[in-house]
Structure 1
Amino acid sequence: MDTLRYILVFFMAMGTGYAQGDDEAIPWSPNRKLTWEDFKGEAPVRDRAAATTASGITYQFATIGTPDKMAIDYTVTTFFYPYKSWYQSHLCDSLILSHEQLHFDISELYARKMRARLATATFTNNVKAEVKTIYREILEELEAFQDLYDKETNFSRNEEQQLLWNAKIEAALTE
């Protein structure tokens, strides 16, 4: 178990449907925690990682307004992708599952940041590019935060740090 890995799957969803064809995507909910049964992907042969969580942020929006000032109606959603997520049962325990859950929860925190940015942004007739810029900035911040999380918890091996991060993210989600 050298490393645990995570995959962030990001889709820009324009129109209807949340996950662009991934019928098995699980939307983030405060009332539903991941279980090992949710990880339906096949673990790579000889991979030393214990688990991989594939989660991502999607968005949809519609515009109204004039070319100088546009308003948007938007939806930003966080998903977990079961068939892109996997685990090796002989390496995993409840602490590693909490680590994987937090990757999903962190994605939701950044979806909330995106919602906040969209709510306060001013848009022009270049709204599509402006929303895409916000999305890309959020994804960069999310990736850096996910990396920091893995580094500080040593991919869940530092139990003390893992428990601190669990509390930190739980507090952030309840704000």
Structure 2
Amino acid sequence: MAQFTTNVYWTEQTDMNSKDVIYYSKNKPLQWPDFKGTPPPPSQVAAITASGFGYKADMKSVNGKGQINVAVYCYFSKGKSWVRPNKMTTYILTHEQHHFDATYLAAKMFIDKVKSLNLDGDNFNEALKRLYKQCCDTMNKLQQDYDGQTMNGQNETQQQKWNRFFDERIALVTK
């Protein structure tokens, strides 16, 4: 079997419209002007953060050795994210930022797991798809738990607990 190395890295080079996305950066938190979408008819929902992560992978031969490259990105969609004009508070913005943080944590988990896999030319596509699905499932559960326990940010005590959780986790993974 040929020897393979795996190169996993963050990228902002995607097919996504650069005017519509913000790539995750710990040093550039979301701001209300980033929420460009139009709110649907009146409801109890104050704001929505549309975020996600993805990857691109390829394989090539370098000096007779196989190299698998996995580029990972984590993004916020400006056009699909929205806020009601009368709800632009710092408190709600923090809640929305943590949805983006949850997405980043899932993307980081994906990177860490990819680095621990022994990928080869035969299994890398299927292994990456399986791992991506696992990390998306974990992210979706985290997002649901977050909104469920905070009652979409309305339970301030729970929101404070989750604020600490996300602040600590993000600090750990962005050292």
Q: In which range does the TM-score fall when normalised by the shorter chain?
A: 0.7 to 0.9
The residue number in structure 1 matching 2:3 is none
Using the TM superposition, give the Cα deviation of residue 86 of structure 1 relative to its aligned residue in structure 2, in angstroms. 0.3
**1:114 to 2:110 alignment:** yes
Matched, 1:150 2:147: yes
Please give the secondary structure, in 2, of the residue aligned with 1:84: coil
Shift of residue 47 of structure 1? 3.3
Of the two, which has the highest radius of gyration? 2
Q: Secondary structure at the match of 1:42?
A: coil
**Conserved 8 A contact 1:19-1:25:** no
Q: More deviation in 73-82 or 34-43?
A: 73-82
Q: Is the contact between residue 19 and residue 58 of structure 1 (CA under 8 Å) also seen in structure 2?
A: no
For 1:146 and 1:112, locate their aligned partners in 2 and report how far apart those are by CA, in whole Å.
15
1:36 paired with 2:23, answer no
Please point out which of 162, 165, 171 is paired with 2:159.
162
Q: 1:134 aligns with which of 118, 131, 136?
A: 131
Counterpart CA distance in 1 for 2:60 and 2:116 is 16
Count of equivalent residues: 157
Equivalent residue in structure 1 for 2:73, among 70, 74, 77: 77
Equivalent position of 2:170 in the other structure: 173
Secondary structure, counterpart of 1:155 in structure 2: coil
CA distance in 1, matches of 2:147, 2:118: 35
Most deviating of 132-141 and 86-95: 86-95
Which residue of 81, 84, 91 maps to 2:87?
91
Deviation at 1:173, TM superposition (A): 1.1
Q: Shift of the alpha carbon at 1:64?
A: 4.4
What residue is the counterpart of 1:9 in the other structure? none
Deviation at 1:130, TM superposition (A): 1.2
Where does the alignment leave 5 or more consecutive residues of structure 2 unmatched? 1-11
When the two chains are superposed, the root-mean-square deviation of aligned CA atoms in Å is 1.9
1:24 to 20, 23, 30: 20
Deviations 1:88-140 (A, max 9, x none): 02134211110000000110111100000100012241311211111011001
Residue in structure 1 matched with residue 48 of structure 2 by the alignment: 52
Q: Which ranges of 4 or more aligned residues in structure 1 deviate by more than 6 Å?
A: none
Q: TM-score, normalised by structure 2?
A: 0.82
Secondary structure at the residue paired with 2:30?
A: coil
